Amino acid sequence: MKIGVLALQGDFDAHRRRLEELGAEAVLVRNSDDLENLDGLIIPGGESTAFLKLLSEDTLETLNEFVHRKPTFGTCAGAIMLAREVENPRQPGLNAIDISIRRNAYGRQNDSTILETASALGSEPLEMVFIRAPRIERVGKGVEVLASRDRDPVLVRQGQVMAATFHPELSHDTRVHAEFLKLVKNGSK
């Protein structure tokens, strides 16, 4: 399995290492040519505004086409990129998953924190590393919630697209990436 990791900015290398740990081939993606022949893509955390600035028009267009066609997983800023609606401030989303998301929504005091939650990924609690995290404020009908932080969905899936508002690549637990690889292998449910 060949999985791309958007490598313009942010913590793409931790995703690359996690994918390799799970036996996938990881490809760092910097332009539209790099998106060819991939089975799936991860858009990492970082700054979504920086992604939008750094993406050339051509790469953004190819990326937009890719995320509507192939399995894609966005973490934190990556989840913001994939959302249908983005607030605080309003910015364009790729509309690959039917969620509304608010950037930097957990306030200063709480803007970086590590929590645990129950999840759909098994009985062990899931560690969640939040870094200036966005909050998912609305999920559409077709969106499955796999984990929540209190009442906020933090790990969601719709068809071939997954989004997390936390950073699973920074925890030892490999289950979130394994779930994405399952999706790449088997297609959507």
In the bound complex, what is the minimum distance in angstroms from residue 113's beta carbon to ligand GLN? 12
**Residue 22 CA neighbour count, 13 Å, CB half:** 23
Closest distance of CB 141 from ligand GLN, Å: 26
User: Between the CA of residue 57 and those of 25, 32, 188, what are the distances in Å?
Assistant: 27, 10, 29
Compute the distance between CA of residue 80 and CA of residue 183 in angstroms, rounded to an integer: 20
From 76, 124, 137, 177, active-site residue: 76
**What helix, strand, coil percent values describe the chain, rounded to 5?**
30, 35, 35
Number of other CB atoms surrounding residue 22 within 10 Å: 15
Judged by beta carbon, residue 86 or residue 181, the one nearer ligand GLN is 86
Cα 188 to chain center, whole Å? 16
Q: Which residue has the tokens 């088997």?
A: 186
Please give the residue ranges that form the binding site for ligand GLN (CB under 6 A): 45-48, 76-77, 80, 103-104, 131-132, 134
Which one-letter amino acid corresponds to residue 59? T
Nearest distance from residue 187's CB to ligand GLN, in Å?
27
Closest separation in Å from C-beta 63 to ligand GLN: 16
Catalytic residue of the set 25, 36, 167, 179: 167
Residue 146 or 163: which CB sits closer to ligand GLN?
163
What is the C-alpha separation between 119 and 139, in angstroms, rounded? 17
Q: Which is nearer to ligand GLN, 26 or 80 (CB)?
A: 80
Catalytic hit among 169, 172, 177, 179: 169
**Does residue 167 have an active-site annotation?**
yes
Nearer to ligand GLN, 105 or 139 (CB): 105
Residues annotated as part of the active site = 76, 167, 169
